[in-house]
Amino acid sequence: MKKILSVFTAFLILLSLSGCEGIPKRYSKSWFDVFDTAAEFTAYCRSEEEFDCLCDVAHSELKRLHEIFDIYNEYGFFNARSLNLQKSGDCPPELCEVINLGIEWHKLSGGQLNIALGSVLELWHDCREAGVLPDGEELTKRSQHCDISKIEINGSAVTLADPEMSLDYGALAKGWAVEKTAEALCEAGAESFMLSVGGNVVARGEKPSGEWTVGVESPDGGILTSFNVKDGAVVTSGDYQRCYEVDGVVYHHIIDPKTLWPAGLWRSVTVADKSSAEADALSTTLFCLSYEDGKALLEKTGAEALWVSKDGEITRSEGFPDEN
């Protein structure tokens, strides 16, 4: 009888241990070598080995897409940098898709989002690195080479018909890449995770305790607000990101295509949407538009937005998620 009881007890212990191993636990990892920003991946997995496998999927996909859309470096294949230098070539399908998406958003935004603004943005980038302001005449000169209709696409072959033109995917590529990486993670079996890449956040599934919570950073530091997200994306564009100071004035990186200077209407704009790519495009575009024009554009999509004005006033679209 004692032998039967001891065997039964051992069985219960093994069953208990097995059950514990099957309970999802929270794991997290960060990278700093993709899209020139900090990336963080958090997931609930049943083992560290499972999480490590998902990390490999996330990092390798982000790294691959980073190299495709990098406009500053080449990697032994035809990428975004190659196109800007050579003005013509056979592009990877991912690059073609984002270029086509940029053309669509140029139409949808009334020209406010323009991936052909590369020559202007390159000047601003160089001046930011040097800590000086760009010359106004040079900005105007470069703006003459930003006609998006000069992009010619024939299958995977892309040509920039204006030899002075260059493309910049800053308003689209990161959000698009985060979306594609989330899809790859789901295909790999991930059920509950959050991926954040420089202000582009995607959440899938739920935590054991419920939906994921996303915090919106205040332009002045700290958390402005937070809300729950399930199977959605949140992207913020702000004047406190990638900025520099000249003669006591701070200049940020979001350039208004109409003025060729940093947009000055808002401190930040946050977009909540199902699509990270769309949220990325919208947050950048809305940052350069008045509230009325931004609201009109927003109504053409299924997204919601939160604006922070120069004096700190917060305005939410009607369906923006309630504060957690």
Exposure string of 67-101, with b = 16+ CB inside 10 Å and e = fewer, is bbbbbeeeeeebbbbbbbeebebebbebbbebbeb
Please return the burial class of 272, using the count of CB atoms within 10 Å of its CB with bins 0-12, 13-18 and 19+: buried
Distance CA 74, CA 323 (A): 43
Over residues 263-269, the mean pLDDT reads 97
Q: What's residue 235's pLDDT?
A: 97
Q: What's residue 2's pLDDT?
A: 38
Torsion of CA 218, 220, 223, 229, to 10 degrees: 20
Specify the amino acid at residue 35.
Answer: F
Mean pLDDT of the chain: 93
| Residue 186 predicted with pLDDT over 60 | yes
* Range of lowest pLDDT (10-24, 107-121, 145-159, 214-228): 10-24
**Element containing residue 122 per DSSP (H, E):** helix 118-130
Is residue 276 within 8 A of residue 231, CB to CB? The reply is no
| Residue 261 predicted with pLDDT over 90 | yes
> Which domains does the chain carry?
26-64+189-316 (3.10.520.10), 80-160 (1.10.3980.10)
Of the candidates 275, 279, 315, 276, the residue with the CA atom closest to the CA atom of residue 298 = 279
Q: Helix, strand or coil for residue 168?
A: coil
5-59: pLDDT as tens digits: 333 343 333 334 344 456 899 999 999 999 999 999 999 999 999 999 999 999 9
| Residue 155 predicted with pLDDT over 90 | yes
Over residues 79-87, the mean pLDDT reads 98
Q: What's residue 324's pLDDT?
A: 81
Question: Percent of the chain beyond pLDDT 70?
Answer: 93
* Range of lowest pLDDT (10-24, 165-179, 308-322): 10-24
C-alpha distances in angstroms, 74 versus 99, 171, 289? 18, 20, 34
Distance CA 9, CA 102 (A): 64
Is residue 120 within 8 A of residue 139, CB to CB? The reply is yes
Crossing angle of helices 93-108 and 276-287, in 10° steps, is 40
Distance CA 18, CA 279 (A): 42
Is residue 125 within 8 A of residue 71, CB to CB? The reply is no
Distance CA 67, CA 34 (A): 8
C-alpha distances in angstroms, 290 versus 97, 139, 265? 29, 23, 7
Over residues 219-224, the mean pLDDT reads 93
Structure tokens at 231: 């199977």
Over residues 197-212, the mean pLDDT reads 94
C-alpha distances in angstroms, 81 versus 78, 85, 151? 8, 6, 15
Over residues 283-293, the mean pLDDT reads 97
Read off the pTM. Answer: 0.90
Confidence of residue 241 (pLDDT cuts 50, 70, 90): confident
Please return the burial class of 119, using the count of CB atoms within 10 Å of its CB with bins 0-12, 13-18 and 19+: buried
* Cα-trace Rg, the chain: 23
Distance CA 121, CA 142 (A): 9
